């Protein structure tokens, strides 16, 4: 693996603790769906910086809103005064997020701090000590958000004795060989009757599409059934929309596909379009539990809030959820056509512009090396994508929501060729050795 001077300086100066799929790529500029390196090479970014660049790079509308917020800087913290853009963002999120009447919004910097805050608040406010989440879930990289996650990459994390993890429905490897999810629901119901008594459980953390776990899409009716089960015991449902929310799946909220309404919704990544901002929307009884209970100095700052307002404006004004549905279907159709007959492609699935390509070996097991080779090959040919999954074998596509159908077709062509190259041994394994991890 080779990289230029900037890459070497990064490796010398910046910590490995926050590196994941560290490509020999040097990014000096971005525009629309593209990133550019120091030599002016153009890359079509089908990852959108792990979903954060929801509007693509340097979207003019977003740039001018953020610039205006900087120019007129209305303070730097929401802790001790009412900041106009933060209030507007709170009102806006309440308006676009369905739910009961007595709700409010907590504003943070990242999916991690928002999930951690929710986990802390639900336990404190309800007095119930337990939380349930899914195996394969990724809810963040801070201690409290890691504690409610159950992704193998975080097997080193401090565990919280009150957290129980249950399997997530996996289309290729269904629990108890029941693809409908009914057997899994019955299993969870059994836990609530026995070892995780329902009246001791404060909340159930749910990714509506389990992204880092392998872009897993629950079977129809599963989440609705789960929400009904939770309601029976007064367990709060927490929907983590950090990666797949806000238009990405073709609807404003990913949970809308499954006909249920969460009690608490968490937003992050794409909410800021590249500027750190997150939000939790939920009952006042939980999110107003106490003052000064979960805060950081620049939470609610006007720059982050304005970035989020610009993102929400552009998503609504330009119909980006509809665009995600259209371009996502195109992307999936092109990938399926191009990869038809490649037996290493176990599944191509998605909702809108949240897409997973699962690579398998001869026995149907996870083929992590193929995923690693394929994303490297794609990068060599100008397309950026990363891979996820508890078996590190699912190529994840979360492009900017502005991706055109034409760009979807071009991206699919290059990616499919890269996957074919990976499967037929045309990629140098010494070059991909550095992309391990989940
Ligand atoms: C990325 C992610 C998080 C954590 O967000 P950060 O911005 O990395 O703190 C939480 N939940 C999900 C589903 C995510 O994909």
Distance CA 384, CA 418 (A): 11
pLDDT of residue 11: 87
239 pLDDT above the threshold of 60: yes
- Ligand 1 centroid vs 106 CA: distance in angstroms? 16
Compute the distance from residue 314 Cα to the ligand 1 centre, in Å: 22
By annotation, the residues acting in catalysis are 138
CATH class (in words) of the domain with range 5-45+319-402+414-432: alpha beta
- What pLDDT is stored for residue 348 in this prediction? 98
Work out the average pLDDT over 202-224: 98
- For the chain, where do the domains classified as CATH 3.90.1150.10 start and end? 5-45+319-402+414-432
| The pLDDT of residue 422 | 97
Q: What is the mean pLDDT of the segment spanning 418-426?
A: 96
Q: State percent of the chain over pLDDT 90.
A: 89
Q: 241 alpha carbon to ligand 1 midpoint, in Å?
A: 9
Is the per-residue pLDDT at 384 higher than 90?
yes
Which DSSP category does 228 fall into?
H
pLDDT at 30: 98
pLDDT over threshold 80, residue 311 = yes
Q: Domain 62-317 has what CATH class?
A: alpha beta
Question: Helix (H) and strand (E) counts for the chain?
Answer: 13, 15
Residue nearest to atom 11 of ligand 1 (CA): 139
H-state helical runs in 260-404: 284-287, 302-317, 320-339, 368-380
pLDDT in tens, 181-200: 999 999 999 999 999 999 99
In which residue are the tokens 């390509």 written?
Answer: 357
For residue 436, the model assigns a pLDDT of 63
- Hey, whose CA ends up nearest to atom 15 of ligand 1? 243
Residues of each domain in the chain carrying CATH 3.40.640.10: 62-317
The ligand 1 atom nearest the CA atom of 278? 7
Whole-prediction pTM:
0.97
Bridge-based pairing state of the strands 383-384 and 345-351 = unpaired
Q: What is the pLDDT of residue 1?
A: 42
pLDDT at 2 over 60: no
Res. 438: pLDDT tops 70: no
**Which residues does ligand 1 sit against, CB inside 6 Å?**
110-112, 115, 138-141, 207, 211-212, 240, 242-243, 268-269
Q: Which among 17, 243, 279 is the best mutation to test ligand 1's pocket, defined by most ligand atoms within 8 Å of the CB?
A: 243
Residue 437 clears pLDDT 80, i.e. is over it: no
Residue nearest to atom 10 of ligand 1 (CA): 139
Q: 112-162: per-residue pLDDT in tens? A: 999 999 999 999 999 999 999 999 999 999 999 999 999 988 888 877 789
């Amino acid at each position: 693996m080779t990289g230029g001077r900037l890459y070497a300086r990064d490796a010398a100066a910046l910590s490995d603790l926050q590196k994941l799929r560290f490509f020999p790529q040097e990014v000096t500029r971005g525009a629309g769906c593209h990133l550019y390196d120091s030599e002016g090479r153009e890359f079509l970014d089908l990852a959108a910086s792990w979903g954060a660049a929801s509007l693509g790079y340097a979207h003019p509308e977003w740039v001018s809103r953020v610039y205006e917020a900087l120019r007129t800087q209305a303070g730097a913290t929401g802790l001790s005064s009412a900041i106009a853009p933060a209030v507007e963002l709170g009102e806006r999120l309440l308006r676009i997020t369905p739910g009961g009447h007595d709700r409010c919004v907590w504003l943070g910097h990242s999916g991690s701090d928002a999930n951690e805050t929710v986990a802390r608040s639900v336990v404190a406010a309800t007095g119930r000590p337990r939380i349930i989440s899914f195996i394969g879930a990724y809810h963040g990289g801070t201690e409290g958000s890691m504690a409610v996650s159950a992704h193998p990459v975080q097997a080193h994390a401090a565990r919280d004795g009150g957290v129980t993890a249950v399997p997530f429905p996996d289309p290729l490897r269904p629990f108890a060989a029941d693809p409908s999810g009914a057997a899994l629901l019955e299993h969870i119901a059994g836990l609530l009757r026995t070892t995780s008594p329902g009246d001791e459980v404060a909340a159930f953390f749910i990714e509506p599409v389990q992204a880092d776990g392998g872009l897993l899409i629950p079977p129809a009716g599963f989440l609705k059934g789960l929400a009904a089960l939770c309601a029976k015991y007064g367990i709060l449902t927490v929907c983590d929309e950090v990666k797949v929310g806000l238009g990405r799946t073709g609807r404003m909220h990913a949970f809308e596909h499954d006909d249920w309404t969460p009690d608490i919704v968490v937003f992050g990544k794409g909410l800021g379009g590249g500027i750190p901002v997150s939000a939790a929307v939920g009952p006042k009884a939980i999110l107003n539990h106490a003052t000064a209970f979960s805060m950081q100095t620049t939470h609610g700052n006007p720059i982050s809030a304005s970035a989020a307002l610009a993102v929400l404006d552009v998503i609504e004004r330009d119909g980006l959820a509809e665009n995600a549905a259209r371009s996502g279907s195109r992307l999936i159709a092109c990938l399926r056509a191009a990869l038809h007959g490649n037996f290493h492609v176990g599944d191509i699935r998605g909702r809108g512009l949240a897409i997973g390509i699962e690579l398998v070996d001869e026995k149907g097991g996870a083929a992590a090396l193929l995923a690693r080779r394929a994303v490297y090959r794609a990068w060599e040919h100008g397309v950026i994508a990363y891979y996820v999954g508890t078996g590190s074998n699912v190529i994840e596509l979360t492009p900017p929501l502005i991706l055109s159908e034409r760009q979807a077709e071009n991206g699919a062509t290059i990616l499919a060729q890269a996957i074919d190259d990976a499967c037929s041994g045309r990629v140098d394994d010494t070059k991909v050795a550095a992309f391990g991890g989940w």
